Structure 1
Amino acid sequence: MHRSHRLKKNEQFQAVFQRGSSAANKQFVLYSAKQEGQAAFRAGISVSKKIGNAVVRNRVKRLIREAVARMESDIPVGLDLVIIARPGVEAMTLEAIEQSLLHVMKRAKVIKQAPVHNGKRDGKRG
């Protein structure tokens, strides 16, 4: 996920909270709002102090950014996303975070189907 595709300012987060819709699972809350005239989607990540100290929070943010970057081609342009991590996410691996984010994005109807990686659909054997 490129730096220019990040939400950073409080006003940007507040706009998504006010205009957007939300979906959640045990690990994440996802807010999404359409933003016209954008060349790509933008994402903001929030990890509270309930998750852990600064080292742990920064690690969680890095893992979430990497998981979003892996799904980048499946997320439609013109969306602003805010991802809020819930307690318990600090113990998860990158793959588990990616699966959980995929689940919550499907619930929010941000992603329509399982993304294709290595020529195979996730969750299918073969």
Structure 2
Amino acid sequence: MKTLKRLKKNKDFQVVFDKGKSFANRQFVIYVLKQPGQPYTRLGLSVSKKMGNAVMRNHIKRYVKEIFRELSDRLELGNDCIVISRLPVRTMSYQEMQGSLIHVLKKAGAMSGNKGD
């Protein structure tokens, strides 16, 4: 996947929040809504102002987008996912974020469990 398909409109976010299922660990909350017939996975991000200034929030969003881009071949197709970051993410390294996102994606059933971690 060259570019990530993104959820950008408030209406799209509200549909996922209302109809999707949520899964969480200490670092992330993920809402997943299965969209039958959609040939790709879309990603929406939410990083609160409590996380820090704009530089810190953009840093976290860049890391999450990159992790999803790397995992794109392992993600189940046809899902809309919203990732909400929690406070512990501020101090995490890229590898720790990746491990935490993989954990919660598997928990949500949005990612296949094989192909070595």
Could you state the TM-score of these two structures normalised by the residue count of structure 2? 0.93
Which 5+ residue runs of structure 2 have no aligned equivalent? Answer: none
Identical positions, percent? 43
Partner in structure 2 of residue 62 of structure 1:
62
Which 5+ residue runs of structure 1 have no aligned equivalent? Answer: none
Higher RCO, 1 vs 2 (CA within 8 Å, ≥6 residues apart): 2
**Residues 83-98 of structure 1 correspond to what in structure 2 (within 5 A)?**
83-98=83-98
**Matched residues in 2 for 1:72 and 1:98: separation?**
13
- Contact 2:23-2:29 within 8 A present in 1 as well: yes
TM superposition shift of 1:59: 0.3
Partner in structure 2 of residue 29 of structure 1:
29
Partner in structure 2 of residue 47 of structure 1:
47
Runs of 4+ that moved beyond 4 A: none
Amino acid at match of 1:88: P
Partner in structure 2 of residue 111 of structure 1:
111
**Residues 72-91 of structure 1 correspond to what in structure 2 (within 5 A)?**
72-91=72-91
TM superposition shift of 1:57: 0.1
**Matched residues in 1 for 2:80 and 2:56: separation?**
25
Larger displacement relative to structure 2 (88-97 or 8-17): 88-97
Superposed CA RMSD in Å reads 1.2
TM superposition shift of 1:99: 0.5
**Matched residues in 1 for 2:94 and 2:70: separation?**
11
SS at match of 1:72: coil
Partner in structure 2 of residue 2 of structure 1:
3
**Matched residues in 2 for 1:78 and 1:109: separation?**
12
**Matched residues in 1 for 2:107 and 2:77: separation?**
18
TM superposition shift of 1:93: 1.3
TM superposition shift of 1:36: 2.5
**Matched residues in 2 for 1:52 and 1:2: separation?**
27
